[in-house]
Amino acid sequence: MHILMIVIVTFFAGMGAGLGTGFAGMSAAAVISPMLITFLGMEPYMAVGIALSSDVLASAISAYTYGKNKNLDVKNGIIMMISVLLFTVAGSYVSSLVPSTTMGNFSVFMTFLLGIKFIVKPVMTTKEAMERVSAKKRVIQSIVCGVMIGFICGFVGAGGGMMMLLILTSVLDYELKTAVGTSVFIMTFTAFTGAVSHFAIGGMPDWTVWILCVLFTLLWARIAAVFANKATPKTLNRVTGVILVILGIVVMSFSMLTK
């Protein structure tokens, strides 16, 4: 019975995380960790470690799919990634110096709001409009936005994927597919860094739960990324919005169950 429960929980956790990653570049940690904590009674630090490691392959396969369809900005993605990683450390340090606040639901609430935004006000920027921005301006924007995203994520402790998608579409005016492709490319490396540090500090995970989470997240991320790259911008905005709203509501519900 216990193994059946593990399979069911990891399947739905992987499905939610994979769809969120493949469609919106969302971090798997926002979905997997609350489900493992709520239904399997897992220690939170280890649950986040498993979620982050599940994110690595799911983000990598999604980035590969977006890149193959020419929906990935590698150059500026690398620049932003370096800024994000450096200032996540800075944000974490500053966060350790101030009184702790209840900001754990920040990324979940943001997921919900971002979903509504995509439904109500879809991102219809074209690649032609993106390419009109000068290379120098794009580099500067990538550095500045990477600093902002990294610091906020380090200070709050979550929300990287959603912050990136919001900044890429609203501030940098990226076309939606390129924004998601670039976001999952960056998340591959940030998730790997986070997973390694979690396991180095907290020890090795439950291998059954870990393997199932990685496989199910990878499967659904691949399905979502393939569909997303074939969809029209209007359809992609609506599907992404609906998935983010549903995930936001579900994860908020799980958070309430743990209280």
Output the tens digit of pLDDT for each of the chain's 259 residues. 589 999 999 999 999 999 999 998 888 777 898 889 888 988 888 888 898 899 999 999 999 999 999 999 999 999 999 998 888 878 777 766 765 444 455 667 778 888 899 999 898 888 888 888 888 999 999 999 999 888 877 666 555 677 888 889 988 889 999 999 999 999 898 888 888 888 888 888 889 999 999 999 999 999 999 999 999 988 999 999 999 899 888 877 876 765 5
Alpha-carbon distances, residue 48 vs 27, 59, 249 (angstroms): 11, 16, 19
Give the separation between CA 74 and CA 185, rounded to whole angstroms.
8
| Identity at 203, one-letter amino acid code | G
pTM across the whole model? 0.86
6 closest CA partner among 213, 202, 198, 204: 213
CA distances from 216 to 163, 174, 184 (A): 24, 29, 17
Q: What number of CA atoms fall less than 13 Å from residue 129's CA on the CB side?
A: 11
CB 19 within 8 A of CB 243: yes
